[in-house]
Amino acid sequence: MNFAAASTEDADAAVTRQIVSRSKSSFTAGMRILPERRRRAIYAVYALCRAVDDIADGDAPGADSPADRARLLDRWEEEINRTSAGRPETAIGAEIARAREHIDLPEGEFHLILEGMRMDAAAIIAPRSDRLEAYIRRVAGAVGILSMKCFGAWCGPPSKDFALNLATGLQLVNILRDVETDARMGRLYIPAHILDTAGMPHDPHGAASHPNLPAAREALGRDARTAFDAAKARIGAHRRLPLVPALMMLGPYERLLLRWSDDWTRPPPRRSGWGKARDGLSTIARTF
């Protein structure tokens, strides 16, 4: 499905829509409220991210070995280049090309996403702060910038600040939530300085089972809080309506962080889909 060949416009749109629907991501609620043209654009961006993330995680067909994953990511790199040249071969590439006819989607941001996936495929373990920042800029910041363009919310430097800080907060919450899951894939995204301060090993499995993990999560949670606050400080520079999908993303993550800060020894119970939507709506209501 991810490498489905480009076909008619309706068929290509159906491919990206199906990928988004299957993901069951909490982000999709914000996407659905967009006008059709912008919704198709963000669906195309999200579908690409889903496709390359599955490759980096080894979940895509044929992505069993590091060499396989590198080869498949190279195929997507080539497709991004073809898309920019007006010659996409996949349904996802064709939808991105159509979106770029009316939305400024910088090619460099797509290549940054691929760079981030290569970092993931190589397994990040206890990175230095600058390496973690570079990783987040690629796998989350690039998506944030492309998303703001798709939403019609872009207004220059304030939007870049908002997108990058929001992306940082979201990614840090994902990291502190998924320590055990990441360890099973040989990954440990908690930065080395936090591990050292908490007296934890630079080893995925050792860190995931360490009694000081709550302290490390708390420290990373403070960084996420700082990023969310920086993003919220830029909300006032934007027209509110185009920003609604981004605020729908912010709400559930900020709420999760707040609930977790009461007890870092265990993750809060999962929220229902409606609960996450309510968190997003609450965030929107506070900004209008």
Q: What is the pLDDT of residues 68-105, one digit of tens each?
A: 999 999 999 999 999 999 999 999 999 999 999 999 99
pLDDT at residue 33 in the model: 81
Q: Give the confidence band of 276 by pLDDT, cuts at 50, 70, 90.
A: confident
- Model confidence over 186-231: pLDDT tens digits? 999 999 999 999 999 999 999 999 999 999 999 999 999 999 999 9
Question: What's the Cα-to-Cα distance from 155 to each of 129, 160, 244, 280, rounded to whole Å?
Answer: 29, 8, 15, 22
What are the φ and ψ backbone dihedral angles of 123, each rounded to 5 degrees?
Answer: 70, 105
164-190 pLDDT tens trace: 999 999 999 999 999 999 999 999 999
pLDDT at 1: 44
Query: How far apart are the C-alpha atoms of 117 and 123, rounded to whole Å?
Result: 10
* Domain extent listing, the chain: 1-105, 123-288
Give the pLDDT mean for 58-63: 93
Q: Which of 133-142, 187-196, 250-259 has the lowest mean pLDDT?
A: 250-259
Residue 285 CB partners (closer than 8 Å, separation 6+): none
Please check the confidence at residue 281 and state whether its pLDDT lies above 80: no
Return the structure tokens found at 138.
């690629």
- How sure is the predictor about 151, in pLDDT bands with cuts at 50, 70 and 90? very high
Q: Which residues pair with 125 in a beta bridge?
A: 188
User: pLDDT tier at 25 (50, 70, 90 boundaries)?
Assistant: low
In DSSP notation, 155-168 reads -SHHHHHHHHHHHH
With 0.75 as the threshold, say if the pTM is over it. yes
CATH code 3.55.10.10 for 123-288:
no
Token pair belonging to 180: 């055990």
Contacts of residue 87, Cβ cutoff 8 Å, sequence gap at least 6:
none
Instruction: Count the neighbouring beta carbons within 10 Å of the beta carbon of residue 149.
Output: 23
Which of 3-12, 216-225, 252-261 is predicted least confidently? 3-12
Report the alpha-carbon distance of residue 102 to residue 11 in Å, rounded.
Answer: 20
Which one has a higher pLDDT value, 208 or 3? 208
Mean pLDDT of the chain: 92
Over residues 46-62, the mean pLDDT reads 94
